[in-house]
C-alpha cells in the first residue's frame, strides 16, 4: 500500500510539473503577444482629436508670446511646454515612449510650420490685403486667432486690451518679417497700407 501511494504521489507530482510548465509557456507566449501588439501600435500610433487640439492650442499660444524672438525653432519650446503639462493635455501615454515621442516631435514640427505660415499670411493680408488693418485691429484679430483664451474675457474693454498688447505685437510682426526675410515682404510692403506700414515701422 505504501509503495502504491508513493507511485501515485510521483505521478501526481509529474502531472503538476507538466501543468506548471504548460502554464508558464502559455503565459510567456501571451506576454510576447502583448509586446508584439504594443510594438505594432507604437509604429502606427495616432493622436486623438483632443490631443491634436491641445497641441495646436499650445503651439498657437507659443507663437504669440510677447517675448518671443525665435520662430524657426519654436517647436522645441512647444515640446517642452507639452512635456511640462502632459497630464492636463492628455499626453501621459506619449512621453516616456521613444517611438511615440518621435511621432509627437514630427507632428509638432509640421504644426508649428503651418501656424508660422498662417501668421505670415495674416501679416501679408494686414499690409496689402483687400482690407488692410491698423495695428490695433491686427492685434485684436491675431490675439483672437492665436492667443490661448483670445484677447481677454472683457471684450467690451477692447481699447485697453489692444493698447496693452500693442508693443508685444509690434515686436512679433517685426521679428516675423526679419525671420521670413524682408525681401519676401517687400512686394507687399510697397503696395500696402501706409498707415499699417508706419505703425509697424516698415517705412
Q: Give the pLDDT confidence score for residue 2 in this predicted structure.
A: 65
Q: What is the Cα Rg of the chain in Å?
A: 30
Whole-angstrom CA distances from 44 to 41, 72, 90, 102 are 5, 28, 18, 12
Q: Which DSSP string corresponds to the chain?
A: -HHHHHHHHHHHHHHHHHHHHHHHHHHHHHHHHHHHHHHHHHHT----HHHHHHHHHHHHHHHT-TT----TTHHHHHHHHHHHTTTTTT-TTTTT-HHHHHHHHHHHHHHHHHHHHHHHHHHHHHHHSSS---HHHHHHHHHHHHSTTTT-S-GGGHHHHHHHHHHHHHHHHHHHHHHH-HHHHHHHHHHS-HHHHHHTT--
Q: Is 152 left (phi over 0), alpha (psi -120 to 50) or beta?
A: left
What pLDDT is attached to residue 120?
79
Predicted pLDDT of residue 25: 63
- ∠ CA(179), CA(177), CA(203), 5° rounding? 145
pLDDT given at position 97: 87
pLDDT in tens, the chain (203 residues): 567 666 667 776 766 777 766 666 666 676 776 765 665 565 667 899 999 999 999 999 998 887 777 788 899 999 999 999 999 999 998 999 888 899 999 999 999 999 988 887 887 777 776 777 776 777 778 888 888 887 765 544 444 444 445 555 655 666 666 655 555 555 545 544 455 455 444 44
Predicted confidence at residue 80, as pLDDT, reads 97
- Output the pTM of the full model: 0.64
Distances in Å between the Cα of 63 and the Cα atoms of 158, 172, 174 are 22, 9, 13
Sequence-separated (6 or more) residues with CB below 8 Å from residue 104: 47, 55, 79, 82, 91, 94
Amino acid at each position: 500500500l505504501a509503495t502504491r501511494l508513493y507511485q501515485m504521489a510521483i505521478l501526481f507530482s509529474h502531472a503538476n510539473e507538466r501543468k506548471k510548465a504548460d502554464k508558464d509557456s502559455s503565459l510567456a507566449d501571451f506576454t510576447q503577444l502583448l509586446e508584439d501588439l504594443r510594438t505594432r501600435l507604437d509604429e502606427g500610433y495616432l493622436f486623438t482629436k483632443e490631443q491634436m487640439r491641445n497641441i495646436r492650442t499650445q503651439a498657437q499660444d507659443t507663437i504669440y508670446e510677447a517675448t518671443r524672438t525665435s520662430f524657426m525653432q519654436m517647436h522645441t519650446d512647444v515640446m517642452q511646454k507639452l512635456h511640462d503639462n502632459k497630464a492636463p493635455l492628455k499626453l501621459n501615454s506619449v512621453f516616456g515612449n521613444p517611438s511615440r515621442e518621435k511621432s509627437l516631435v514630427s507632428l509638432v514640427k509640421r504644426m508649428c510650420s503651418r501656424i508660422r505660415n498662417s501668421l505670415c499670411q495674416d501679416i501679408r493680408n494686414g499690409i496689402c490685403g483687400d482690407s488692410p488693418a491698423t495695428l490695433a485691429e491686427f492685434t485684436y484679430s491675431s490675439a483672437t486667432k492665436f492667443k490661448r483664451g483670445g484677447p481677454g474675457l472683457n471684450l467690451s474693454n477692447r481699447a485697453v486690451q489692444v493698447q496693452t498688447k500693442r508693443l508685444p505685437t509690434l515686436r512679433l510682426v517685426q521679428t516675423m518679417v526679419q525671420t521670413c526675410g524682408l525681401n519676401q515682404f517687400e512686394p507687399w510692403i510697397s503696395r500696402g497700407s501706409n498707415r499699417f506700414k508706419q505703425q509697424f515701422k516698415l517705412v
